[in-house]
Amino acid sequence: MASPLSHQLFSRAQRTIPGGVNSPVRAWRAVGGEPRFIQRGKGCFVWDVEGRHYIDYVGSWGPLILGHAPPEVLRVLHDTMRDGTTFGAPTVREVEFAEKLCSAMPSLEMVRLTSSGTEATMALLRLARAFTGRSRIVKFDGCYHGHVDTLLVAAGSGAATLSVPDSAGVPPAVAEATLVATFNDIASVELCFQRFPGEIAAVIVEPVVGNMGVIPPEGNFLQELRECCQRYGALLIFDEVITGFRIAWGGAQQRYGVLPDLTSIGKVVGGGLPLAAFGGRREIMELVAPVGPVYHAGTLSGNPLAVAAGLRTLEVLQQPGTYERLEELGQRLEVGLREALVAAGVQGCVQRVGSMWTLFLGVAQVRSAADARRVDHDLFRRWFHGMLDEGIYLPPSPFEAAFISLAHTEAEIDVTVRAAARVLRQLAGG
Protein backbone atom coordinates (compact mmCIF):
# COMPACT_ATOMS: atom_id res chain seq x y z
CA MET A 1 0.00 0.00 0.00
CA ALA A 2 1.59 3.26 -1.14
CA SER A 3 2.05 6.18 1.22
CA PRO A 4 2.78 9.31 -0.87
CA LEU A 5 3.17 11.63 2.11
CA SER A 6 5.56 9.24 3.87
CA HIS A 7 7.52 9.02 0.61
CA GLN A 8 7.83 12.81 0.45
CA LEU A 9 8.90 13.02 4.09
CA PHE A 10 11.42 10.19 3.71
CA SER A 11 12.99 11.88 0.69
CA ARG A 12 13.18 15.11 2.65
CA ALA A 13 14.64 13.38 5.72
CA GLN A 14 17.44 11.77 3.72
CA ARG A 15 18.80 15.20 2.84
CA THR A 16 19.62 16.04 6.46
CA ILE A 17 19.55 12.73 8.39
CA PRO A 18 21.82 9.78 7.41
CA GLY A 19 19.55 7.26 5.72
CA GLY A 20 16.57 9.40 6.67
CA VAL A 21 16.28 7.77 10.10
CA ASN A 22 17.79 8.10 13.56
CA SER A 23 18.20 4.35 14.11
CA PRO A 24 19.02 2.01 11.20
CA VAL A 25 16.22 -0.56 11.54
CA ARG A 26 13.64 2.19 11.00
CA ALA A 27 14.73 2.50 7.35
CA TRP A 28 13.06 -0.84 6.46
CA ARG A 29 16.17 -2.11 4.65
CA ALA A 30 15.38 -5.68 5.79
CA VAL A 31 11.90 -5.66 4.24
CA GLY A 32 12.17 -3.21 1.37
CA GLY A 33 9.97 -0.27 0.65
CA GLU A 34 9.92 2.96 2.60
CA PRO A 35 9.02 3.48 6.26
CA ARG A 36 5.68 4.85 7.33
CA PHE A 37 5.97 8.17 9.14
CA ILE A 38 3.93 7.91 12.33
CA GLN A 39 1.80 10.87 13.39
CA ARG A 40 0.37 9.71 16.71
CA GLY A 41 -0.40 6.76 18.94
CA LYS A 42 -3.14 5.88 21.40
CA GLY A 43 -3.52 2.65 23.31
CA CYS A 44 -2.38 -0.21 21.07
CA PHE A 45 -2.82 1.78 17.85
CA VAL A 46 -0.63 4.10 15.79
CA TRP A 47 -1.69 6.39 12.95
CA ASP A 48 0.56 7.29 10.04
CA VAL A 49 0.70 10.69 8.36
CA GLU A 50 -1.87 9.51 5.79
CA GLY A 51 -4.35 8.89 8.62
CA ARG A 52 -4.26 5.08 8.40
CA HIS A 53 -4.27 3.29 11.73
CA TYR A 54 -2.54 0.04 12.68
CA ILE A 55 -2.51 -2.36 15.60
CA ASP A 56 1.00 -1.76 16.93
CA TYR A 57 3.34 -4.55 18.03
CA VAL A 58 6.52 -2.45 17.82
CA GLY A 59 5.71 -0.40 20.89
CA SER A 60 8.65 1.92 20.23
CA TRP A 61 10.86 -1.21 20.37
CA GLY A 62 9.74 -2.25 23.84
CA PRO A 63 9.23 0.68 26.21
CA LEU A 64 5.46 1.11 25.82
CA ILE A 65 4.19 -1.72 28.00
CA LEU A 66 1.18 0.43 28.97
CA GLY A 67 0.49 1.33 25.35
CA HIS A 68 0.68 4.72 23.67
CA ALA A 69 -0.17 7.89 25.60
CA PRO A 70 -1.43 6.24 28.80
CA PRO A 71 -3.48 8.86 30.70
CA GLU A 72 -1.82 8.18 34.06
CA VAL A 73 1.64 8.83 32.61
CA LEU A 74 0.53 11.90 30.66
CA ARG A 75 -0.98 13.39 33.82
CA VAL A 76 2.19 12.99 35.86
CA LEU A 77 4.27 14.43 33.02
CA HIS A 78 2.00 17.46 32.78
CA ASP A 79 2.19 18.04 36.53
CA THR A 80 5.97 17.56 36.62
CA MET A 81 6.62 19.93 33.71
CA ARG A 82 5.02 22.81 35.59
CA ASP A 83 7.90 22.68 38.07
CA GLY A 84 10.61 22.54 35.41
CA THR A 85 12.11 20.01 33.03
CA THR A 86 15.59 19.38 34.43
CA PHE A 87 17.80 20.78 37.19
CA GLY A 88 21.10 18.91 37.12
CA ALA A 89 20.64 18.36 40.84
CA PRO A 90 19.25 15.59 43.06
CA THR A 91 15.47 15.28 43.31
CA VAL A 92 13.11 13.39 45.59
CA ARG A 93 11.64 11.31 42.79
CA GLU A 94 14.99 9.92 41.65
CA VAL A 95 15.53 8.55 45.17
CA GLU A 96 12.05 7.02 45.14
CA PHE A 97 12.71 5.59 41.69
CA ALA A 98 16.02 4.02 42.74
CA GLU A 99 14.31 2.50 45.78
CA LYS A 100 11.58 1.07 43.54
CA LEU A 101 14.13 -0.51 41.20
CA CYS A 102 16.08 -2.07 44.07
CA SER A 103 12.94 -3.46 45.69
CA ALA A 104 11.79 -5.03 42.42
CA MET A 105 14.93 -6.56 40.91
CA PRO A 106 16.31 -9.32 43.18
CA SER A 107 20.01 -8.61 42.55
CA LEU A 108 19.97 -4.82 42.82
CA GLU A 109 21.41 -3.29 46.00
CA MET A 110 22.40 0.02 44.42
CA VAL A 111 21.63 1.65 41.06
CA ARG A 112 22.82 4.60 38.99
CA LEU A 113 20.45 6.26 36.50
CA THR A 114 21.44 6.99 32.90
CA SER A 115 19.69 8.16 29.73
CA SER A 116 20.04 5.06 27.52
CA GLY A 117 20.65 1.33 27.62
CA THR A 118 23.86 1.79 25.66
CA GLU A 119 25.19 4.13 28.31
CA ALA A 120 24.22 1.71 31.08
CA THR A 121 25.98 -1.19 29.39
CA MET A 122 29.10 0.87 28.70
CA ALA A 123 29.30 1.80 32.38
CA LEU A 124 28.88 -1.83 33.46
CA LEU A 125 31.81 -2.99 31.35
CA ARG A 126 34.04 -0.31 32.87
CA LEU A 127 32.82 -1.23 36.33
CA ALA A 128 33.39 -4.98 35.83
CA ARG A 129 36.93 -4.39 34.61
CA ALA A 130 37.71 -2.14 37.56
CA PHE A 131 36.31 -4.61 40.10
CA THR A 132 38.09 -7.67 38.71
CA GLY A 133 41.27 -6.06 37.40
CA ARG A 134 40.76 -7.98 34.15
CA SER A 135 40.20 -6.75 30.59
CA ARG A 136 38.37 -9.32 28.47
CA ILE A 137 34.59 -9.60 28.08
CA VAL A 138 32.54 -12.56 26.85
CA LYS A 139 29.36 -11.82 24.90
CA PHE A 140 27.05 -14.04 22.86
CA ASP A 141 26.58 -14.16 19.13
CA GLY A 142 23.31 -12.40 18.34
CA CYS A 143 23.01 -10.55 21.65
CA TYR A 144 22.91 -6.77 21.25
CA HIS A 145 24.03 -4.48 24.05
CA GLY A 146 23.92 -1.06 22.42
CA HIS A 147 26.42 0.65 20.16
CA VAL A 148 29.38 0.20 22.52
CA ASP A 149 32.68 -0.29 20.67
CA THR A 150 33.69 -3.25 22.83
CA LEU A 151 30.48 -5.12 22.03
CA LEU A 152 30.03 -4.20 18.37
CA VAL A 153 31.81 -7.36 17.30
CA ALA A 154 30.96 -10.55 15.41
CA ALA A 155 32.30 -14.02 16.09
CA GLY A 156 35.64 -14.86 14.52
CA SER A 157 36.31 -18.18 12.82
CA GLY A 158 35.05 -20.14 15.81
CA ALA A 159 34.30 -20.05 19.52
CA ALA A 160 36.91 -18.37 21.71
CA THR A 161 38.67 -16.75 18.76
CA LEU A 162 39.52 -13.08 18.91
CA SER A 163 36.62 -11.06 17.58
CA VAL A 164 36.59 -8.72 14.62
CA PRO A 165 34.73 -5.39 14.47
CA ASP A 166 31.08 -5.45 13.43
CA SER A 167 31.12 -1.74 12.55
CA ALA A 168 33.46 0.58 10.76
CA GLY A 169 35.33 2.81 13.16
CA VAL A 170 35.89 0.15 15.83
CA PRO A 171 39.65 -0.43 16.21
CA PRO A 172 40.63 -4.11 15.92
CA ALA A 173 42.51 -3.82 19.21
CA VAL A 174 39.25 -2.88 20.94
CA ALA A 175 37.34 -5.75 19.38
CA GLU A 176 40.04 -8.23 20.37
CA ALA A 177 39.18 -7.70 24.02
CA THR A 178 35.78 -9.30 23.41
CA LEU A 179 35.19 -13.04 23.02
CA VAL A 180 32.03 -14.37 21.39
CA ALA A 181 30.27 -17.49 22.64
CA THR A 182 27.11 -19.28 21.50
CA PHE A 183 23.84 -18.69 23.34
CA ASN A 184 22.40 -21.82 24.98
CA ASP A 185 25.82 -23.53 24.69
CA ILE A 186 27.66 -23.49 28.02
CA ALA A 187 30.60 -25.42 26.52
CA SER A 188 31.40 -22.45 24.30
CA VAL A 189 31.65 -20.26 27.41
CA GLU A 190 33.88 -22.75 29.20
CA LEU A 191 36.17 -22.72 26.17
CA CYS A 192 36.61 -18.95 26.47
CA PHE A 193 37.67 -19.25 30.10
CA GLN A 194 40.01 -22.13 29.36
CA ARG A 195 41.74 -20.28 26.55
CA PHE A 196 42.15 -17.03 28.49
CA PRO A 197 42.51 -18.02 32.17
CA GLY A 198 42.46 -15.12 34.60
CA GLU A 199 41.77 -12.56 31.84
CA ILE A 200 37.96 -12.44 31.62
CA ALA A 201 36.29 -9.72 33.68
CA ALA A 202 32.67 -10.53 32.89
CA VAL A 203 30.17 -12.42 30.80
CA ILE A 204 27.35 -10.24 29.49
CA VAL A 205 24.13 -11.78 28.20
CA GLU A 206 20.57 -10.96 27.26
CA PRO A 207 18.90 -13.58 29.50
CA VAL A 208 16.20 -13.78 26.84
CA VAL A 209 17.63 -12.81 23.47
CA GLY A 210 15.54 -10.06 21.91
CA ASN A 211 17.74 -8.88 19.07
CA MET A 212 17.82 -12.02 16.93
CA GLY A 213 14.13 -12.42 17.46
CA VAL A 214 13.04 -13.92 20.76
CA ILE A 215 15.28 -16.81 21.84
CA PRO A 216 14.58 -18.15 25.36
CA PRO A 217 17.29 -19.71 27.52
CA GLU A 218 17.09 -23.49 27.47
CA GLY A 219 17.04 -25.71 30.53
CA ASN A 220 19.59 -24.62 33.13
CA PHE A 221 21.66 -22.47 30.77
CA LEU A 222 21.46 -19.31 32.89
CA GLN A 223 22.22 -21.20 36.10
CA GLU A 224 25.17 -22.93 34.41
CA LEU A 225 26.36 -19.51 33.28
CA ARG A 226 26.12 -18.28 36.88
CA GLU A 227 28.15 -21.22 38.14
CA CYS A 228 30.72 -20.89 35.37
CA CYS A 229 31.37 -17.23 36.22
CA GLN A 230 31.74 -18.04 39.91
CA ARG A 231 34.14 -20.86 39.15
CA TYR A 232 36.45 -18.62 37.11
CA GLY A 233 36.13 -15.45 39.18
CA ALA A 234 34.28 -13.39 36.55
CA LEU A 235 31.18 -11.26 36.97
CA LEU A 236 27.86 -12.16 35.37
CA ILE A 237 26.05 -9.24 33.75
CA PHE A 238 22.41 -9.46 32.71
CA ASP A 239 21.41 -7.00 30.02
CA GLU A 240 17.77 -6.58 31.01
CA VAL A 241 17.20 -3.46 28.93
CA ILE A 242 14.42 -5.37 27.15
CA THR A 243 13.41 -7.99 29.72
CA GLY A 244 13.47 -5.78 32.82
CA PHE A 245 9.85 -5.22 33.97
CA ARG A 246 8.76 -6.70 30.63
CA ILE A 247 8.64 -10.46 31.28
CA ALA A 248 8.17 -10.24 35.05
CA TRP A 249 8.09 -7.58 37.75
CA GLY A 250 11.63 -8.57 38.71
CA GLY A 251 12.76 -9.20 35.14
CA ALA A 252 14.40 -12.33 33.80
CA GLN A 253 16.37 -12.80 37.01
CA GLN A 254 13.11 -13.26 38.90
CA ARG A 255 11.45 -15.33 36.19
CA TYR A 256 14.37 -17.77 35.92
CA GLY A 257 15.65 -17.56 39.49
CA VAL A 258 19.24 -16.68 38.58
CA LEU A 259 20.92 -13.63 40.10
CA PRO A 260 23.61 -11.75 38.17
CA ASP A 261 26.28 -9.58 39.76
CA LEU A 262 25.36 -6.56 37.64
CA THR A 263 22.29 -5.58 35.60
CA SER A 264 21.39 -2.99 33.00
CA ILE A 265 17.74 -1.97 32.57
CA GLY A 266 15.99 0.44 30.25
CA LYS A 267 13.03 0.74 27.85
CA VAL A 268 10.04 -0.01 30.12
CA VAL A 269 11.54 1.83 33.10
CA GLY A 270 11.38 5.17 31.28
CA GLY A 271 7.67 5.05 30.61
CA GLY A 272 8.32 6.14 27.02
CA LEU A 273 11.02 8.69 27.82
CA PRO A 274 14.83 8.25 27.63
CA LEU A 275 15.82 6.55 30.88
CA ALA A 276 17.91 3.55 31.87
CA ALA A 277 19.90 2.33 34.86
CA PHE A 278 22.69 0.01 35.87
CA GLY A 279 23.14 -1.62 39.23
CA GLY A 280 24.06 -4.65 41.26
CA ARG A 281 25.92 -5.69 44.37
CA ARG A 282 26.80 -2.90 46.76
CA GLU A 283 30.50 -3.78 46.95
CA ILE A 284 30.77 -3.37 43.18
CA MET A 285 28.54 -0.31 42.81
CA GLU A 286 30.47 1.56 45.49
CA LEU A 287 33.33 1.76 42.99
CA VAL A 288 31.26 4.29 41.00
CA ALA A 289 32.26 7.95 41.38
CA PRO A 290 32.03 9.97 43.54
CA VAL A 291 32.36 7.15 46.09
CA GLY A 292 34.91 5.20 44.05
CA PRO A 293 37.31 5.57 41.11
CA VAL A 294 35.03 4.42 38.25
CA TYR A 295 33.80 7.49 36.43
CA HIS A 296 30.24 7.88 35.23
CA ALA A 297 28.31 11.10 34.66
CA GLY A 298 25.44 12.48 32.58
CA THR A 299 23.84 15.88 32.13
CA LEU A 300 20.30 14.46 31.95
CA SER A 301 20.79 11.37 34.11
CA GLY A 302 17.77 11.05 36.38
CA ASN A 303 15.98 14.00 34.77
CA PRO A 304 12.62 14.75 36.43
CA LEU A 305 10.38 14.09 33.43
CA ALA A 306 11.75 10.63 32.61
CA VAL A 307 11.86 9.62 36.27
CA ALA A 308 8.27 10.76 36.81
CA ALA A 309 7.07 8.80 33.78
CA GLY A 310 9.08 5.76 34.79
CA LEU A 311 7.95 5.78 38.39
CA ARG A 312 4.28 6.06 37.41
CA THR A 313 4.69 3.24 34.89
CA LEU A 314 6.21 0.97 37.53
CA GLU A 315 3.40 1.82 39.94
CA VAL A 316 0.88 0.64 37.35
CA LEU A 317 2.86 -2.52 36.62
CA GLN A 318 3.04 -3.34 40.32
CA GLN A 319 -0.73 -3.69 40.55
CA PRO A 320 -1.99 -7.27 41.07
CA GLY A 321 -2.72 -9.28 37.94
CA THR A 322 -0.67 -7.15 35.55
CA TYR A 323 1.77 -9.79 34.37
CA GLU A 324 -0.87 -12.50 34.42
CA ARG A 325 -2.86 -10.35 32.00
CA LEU A 326 0.12 -9.93 29.68
CA GLU A 327 0.71 -13.68 29.78
CA GLU A 328 -2.93 -14.37 28.85
CA LEU A 329 -2.72 -12.08 25.85
CA GLY A 330 0.64 -13.49 24.82
CA GLN A 331 -0.59 -17.06 25.03
CA ARG A 332 -3.71 -16.22 23.02
CA LEU A 333 -1.61 -14.69 20.25
CA GLU A 334 0.94 -17.52 20.29
CA VAL A 335 -1.69 -20.25 20.00
CA GLY A 336 -3.48 -18.38 17.23
CA LEU A 337 -0.33 -17.83 15.20
CA ARG A 338 0.78 -21.44 15.60
CA GLU A 339 -2.60 -22.66 14.36
CA ALA A 340 -2.43 -20.24 11.43
CA LEU A 341 1.00 -21.57 10.43
CA VAL A 342 -0.21 -25.17 10.52
CA ALA A 343 -3.43 -24.40 8.64
CA ALA A 344 -1.52 -22.60 5.89
CA GLY A 345 1.19 -25.25 5.68
CA VAL A 346 3.94 -22.65 6.07
CA GLN A 347 7.12 -23.68 7.89
CA GLY A 348 7.80 -21.47 10.87
CA CYS A 349 7.68 -21.19 14.63
CA VAL A 350 6.41 -18.76 17.24
CA GLN A 351 8.75 -18.08 20.16
CA ARG A 352 7.49 -16.07 23.10
CA VAL A 353 8.42 -15.16 26.64
CA GLY A 354 5.69 -13.20 28.38
CA SER A 355 4.69 -10.26 26.22
CA MET A 356 7.68 -10.38 23.83
CA TRP A 357 7.42 -12.64 20.78
CA THR A 358 8.68 -13.45 17.29
CA LEU A 359 7.27 -15.40 14.38
CA PHE A 360 10.21 -17.00 12.55
CA LEU A 361 9.56 -18.16 8.98
CA GLY A 362 11.39 -20.97 7.20
CA VAL A 363 12.75 -22.63 10.35
CA ALA A 364 11.25 -25.08 12.83
CA GLN A 365 13.08 -23.81 15.94
CA VAL A 366 15.53 -21.08 16.86
CA ARG A 367 17.87 -21.64 19.82
CA SER A 368 20.88 -19.58 18.69
CA ALA A 369 21.87 -16.77 16.36
CA ALA A 370 23.04 -19.32 13.79
CA ASP A 371 19.51 -20.75 13.68
CA ALA A 372 17.99 -17.28 13.37
CA ARG A 373 20.17 -16.47 10.38
CA ARG A 374 18.59 -19.36 8.51
CA VAL A 375 15.16 -17.70 8.39
CA ASP A 376 13.55 -17.16 4.99
CA HIS A 377 14.15 -13.45 4.39
CA ASP A 378 11.98 -13.23 1.29
CA LEU A 379 9.10 -14.94 3.06
CA PHE A 380 9.47 -12.55 5.99
CA ARG A 381 9.45 -9.56 3.66
CA ARG A 382 6.17 -10.71 2.14
CA TRP A 383 4.77 -11.49 5.60
CA PHE A 384 5.65 -8.02 6.88
CA HIS A 385 4.07 -6.15 3.98
CA GLY A 386 1.05 -8.44 3.94
CA MET A 387 0.40 -7.76 7.62
CA LEU A 388 0.97 -4.04 7.10
CA ASP A 389 -1.71 -4.03 4.40
CA GLU A 390 -3.98 -5.77 6.93
CA GLY A 391 -3.40 -2.93 9.39
CA ILE A 392 -0.90 -4.76 11.62
CA TYR A 393 2.32 -2.88 12.40
CA LEU A 394 5.18 -5.33 13.07
CA PRO A 395 8.94 -4.81 13.49
CA PRO A 396 10.45 -4.40 9.99
CA SER A 397 13.13 -7.03 10.57
CA PRO A 398 13.08 -10.80 11.17
CA PHE A 399 15.57 -10.25 14.00
CA GLU A 400 13.55 -7.90 16.21
CA ALA A 401 11.15 -8.84 18.99
CA ALA A 402 7.53 -7.75 18.84
CA PHE A 403 5.69 -6.60 21.96
CA ILE A 404 2.23 -6.82 23.48
CA SER A 405 1.05 -4.03 25.79
CA LEU A 406 -1.59 -3.78 28.46
CA ALA A 407 -3.56 -1.65 26.00
CA HIS A 408 -4.07 -4.65 23.71
CA THR A 409 -7.24 -6.65 24.28
CA GLU A 410 -8.55 -10.00 23.10
CA ALA A 411 -10.26 -8.15 20.25
CA GLU A 412 -6.99 -6.84 18.79
CA ILE A 413 -5.28 -10.18 19.32
CA ASP A 414 -8.06 -11.96 17.42
CA VAL A 415 -7.97 -9.41 14.60
CA THR A 416 -4.22 -10.01 14.36
CA VAL A 417 -4.61 -13.79 14.24
CA ARG A 418 -7.26 -13.62 11.51
CA ALA A 419 -5.05 -11.26 9.49
CA ALA A 420 -2.09 -13.60 9.97
CA ALA A 421 -4.13 -16.56 8.74
CA ARG A 422 -5.04 -14.69 5.55
CA VAL A 423 -1.48 -13.53 4.90
CA LEU A 424 0.03 -16.96 5.58
CA ARG A 425 -2.42 -18.55 3.15
CA GLN A 426 -1.27 -16.03 0.54
CA LEU A 427 2.37 -16.91 1.26
CA ALA A 428 1.62 -20.60 0.91
CA GLY A 429 0.05 -19.95 -2.47
CA GLY A 430 3.23 -18.29 -3.72
- What distances in angstroms separate CA 333 from CA 211, 317, 359, 392, one per listed residue? 20, 21, 11, 13
Q: CB-hemisphere CA count at 13 Å for 260?
A: 32
Please state, as a whole number, how many other Cβ atoms lie within 10 Å of the Cβ of residue 40. 12
Nearest-angstrom CA–CA distance, 341 and 376: 14
Q: What positions carry a catalytic annotation? A: 144, 239, 267
From 244, 234, 302, 292, select the one nearest 268 (Cα to Cα). 244
Q: Which residues pair with 181 in a beta bridge?
A: 140
From 209, 57, 216, 328, select the one nearest 336 (Cα to Cα). 328
Angle at Cα 301 formed by Cα 402 and Cα 124, nearest 5°? 70
Angle at Cα 73 formed by Cα 270 and Cα 266, nearest 5°? 10
